[in-house]
Amino acid sequence: MNDKSFNQSAWEGAQKGAKEFGYDVKYIESKQPTDYEKNIDQFATEKYDVIITVGFLMGDATAVKALQYPNIKFAIIDNAYFPTKGVKYCDDTKKDCYAESLKNVTSLMFQEDQVGYLAGVLAAGMTKSGVVCSVSGMEIHPSCAYRRLSERRQVDEA
């Protein structure tokens, strides 16, 4: 795993934790979205106790497989579950997805907006021209939250 980004950081953290606490760790790289559920099935059949998925794109597959494998603990990075109309694993009749249907799932969320705010403070303090630029990833919630607060702080500081 060497994408020099989010997935690599997650893998390096898993390796460090495995070494520190003495457990086995393995990763499977998904080549396309249709691989998500198959890859989770592979870990389940190999009898892993915990399966960690990375990124909101794996949200649906993680929830579906968590219901299928209730004795396996799941964690997903950067995806939270909310009651949603028409979603089988947590429809809008539920109050709390984690308490009512996804009892074996933990969402690992990060405060991208706080990091964005601090980046904006730094950028605003460093600019000599009064102009600051930001290059972001896909138009997804974490990137948008980061950029929104970064831009707000730049305006506040200007």
pLDDT digits (tens, 9 = 90+) for 57-109: 999 999 999 999 999 999 999 889 999 999 989 999 999 999 999 999 999 98
Instruction: Say if residues 57 and 89 touch (Cβ distance below 8 Å).
Output: no
Helices 59-68 and 35-45, interaxial angle, to 10°? 30
CA angle 82, 83, 89 (to 5 degrees): 95
Residue 124 has pLDDT above 90, yes or no: no
Dihedral of CA 73/77/82/85: which sign? negative
Q: Which two tokens stand for residue 6?
A: 């989010």
Residue 141 has pLDDT above 70, yes or no: no
Instruction: Provide the pLDDT for residue 154.
Output: 47
When pLDDT is cut at 50, 70 and 90, the band that residue 147 belongs to is low
User: Where is average pLDDT lowest: 79-88, 131-140, 143-152?
Assistant: 143-152
Confidence of residue 156 (pLDDT cuts 50, 70, 90): low
DSSP 103-114: TTEEEE---HHH
Kindly report each contact of residues 134-143 with a partner whose C-beta sits within 8 Å and lies 24 or more positions away, as own/partner.
140/56, 141/56, 142/56, 142/78, 142/110, 142/112, 143/112
Q: Summarize pLDDT for 17-53 with one digit per residue, the tens.
A: 999 999 999 999 899 999 999 999 999 999 999 999 9
> Structure pTM?
0.76
Q: Which amino acid is at 6?
A: F
* Higher pLDDT, residue 124 or 133: 124
pLDDT of residue 136: 66
Start-to-end CA span in the chain (Å): 40
Cβ atoms of 74 and 83 within 8 Å: the answer is no
CA angle 22, 27, 32 (to 5 degrees): 165
